[in-house]
């Protein structure tokens, strides 16, 4: 039996840089998950290099090579199931998933989104927060359902929007928090601390009435 055999085998899906993947890799030694596979729908991205440097199996499935969204998602399901992947972490994966895919991994798949959901699903969230004159912005980590960026939210982390902030500064502030928050929540999923039941989030066997605040999660951790 290997040292890691009781860790949950997970996969990370990416489309680009993979800085969140890197954070998940870096946290792995003390986490309850083991990244067994990284899939990218785009070839030659930095995230694939990061996985290879960490000795993790990689797979490029170029969505353009498939006739339909369904065929592409089916190929991903086959790849993930053949590796006995128990949970899927979306980390900058820029593809809309089919209901077949989301139902296959329901309760076993997380996404990280750079806004305080339900505000600003989709793209350009930083610009939208600036345009709206928001004083607060942030990130959400949620279970993935068939609704784009619409699954039940587990945790949110907030940043203030200051007078001199722009898209780039907000992106940087949020990225820094993402790298701390995502490994934490992935670890909760891998240790069954967080669960999805009847489309609601349960944390430590208690129904979560509102998303966990990241600052509070850190206080409780220490
Ligand atoms: C992150 O900002 C995440 O919130 C969004 O995509 C971005 C991925 O960044 N879903 P990276 O590839 O992990 O650097």
| Residue 90, strand partner residues | 13, 111
Structure pTM? 0.96
Tell me the residue range of the domain where 92 lies.
1-105
Position 5 scores a pLDDT of 65
The DSSP code for 5 is T
How many structural domains does the chain have? 2
| Residue 87, strand partner residues | 10
Distance from the first to the final alpha carbon of the chain: 32
The residue whose CA is least distant from atom 1 of ligand 1 is 92
Position 66 scores a pLDDT of 96
| Distance in angstroms (rounded) separating the CA atoms of residues 142 and 121 | 12
Could you say which of 63, 83, 105 is where a domain stops?
Answer: 105
Which residues of the chain have a pLDDT value below 70? 1-5, 222
**CB 21, CB 12: distance < 8 Å:** yes
**CB 119, CB 138: distance < 8 Å:** no
54 alpha carbon, distance to own chain's centre: 19
Are 151 and 214 found together in one domain?
Answer: yes
Position 3 scores a pLDDT of 53
- 61 Cα–ligand 1 center, Å: 19
Strand-pair category, 194-197 with 153-160: unpaired
Could you say which of 40, 75, 105 is where a domain stops?
Answer: 105
With a Cβ cut-off of 6 Å, ligand 1 is lined by 16-20, 91-92, 112-114, 139, 175, 178
Are 75 and 159 found together in one domain?
Answer: no
pLDDT digits (tens, 9 = 90+) for 129-140: 999 999 999 999
Could you say which of 105, 126, 147 is where a domain stops?
Answer: 105
| Distance in angstroms (rounded) separating the CA atoms of residues 159 and 177 | 9
Position 1 scores a pLDDT of 44
């Amino acid at each position: 039996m290997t040292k890691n055999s009781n860790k949950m085998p997970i996969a990370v899906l990416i489309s680009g840089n993979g800085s969140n993947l890197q954070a998940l890799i870096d946290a792995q030694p003390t986490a309850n998950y083991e990244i067994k596979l990284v899939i990218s729908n785009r070839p030659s991205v930095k995230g694939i290099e990061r996985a290879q440097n960490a000795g993790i199996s990689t797979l490029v499935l170029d969505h353009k090579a498939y006739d339909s969204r369904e065929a592409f998602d089916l190929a991903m399901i086959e790849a993930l199931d053949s590796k006995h992947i128990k949970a899927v972490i979306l980390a900058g994966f820029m593809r809309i998933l089919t209901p077949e895919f989301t139902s296959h991994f329901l309760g076993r798949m997380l996404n990280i989104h750079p806004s305080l959901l339900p505000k600003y699903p989709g793209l350009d969230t930083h610009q939208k927060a600036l345009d709206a004159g928001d004083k607060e912005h942030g990130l959400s980590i949620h279970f993935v359902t068939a609704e784009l960026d619409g699954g039940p939210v587990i945790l949110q982390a907030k940043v203030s929007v200051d007078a001199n902030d722009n898209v780039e500064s907000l992106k940087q502030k949020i990225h820094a928090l993402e790298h701390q928050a995502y490994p934490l929540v992935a670890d909760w999923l891998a240790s069954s601390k967080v669960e999805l039941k009847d489309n609601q989030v349960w944390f430590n066997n208690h129904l979560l009435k509102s998303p966990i605040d990241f600052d509070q999660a850190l206080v409780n951790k220490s």
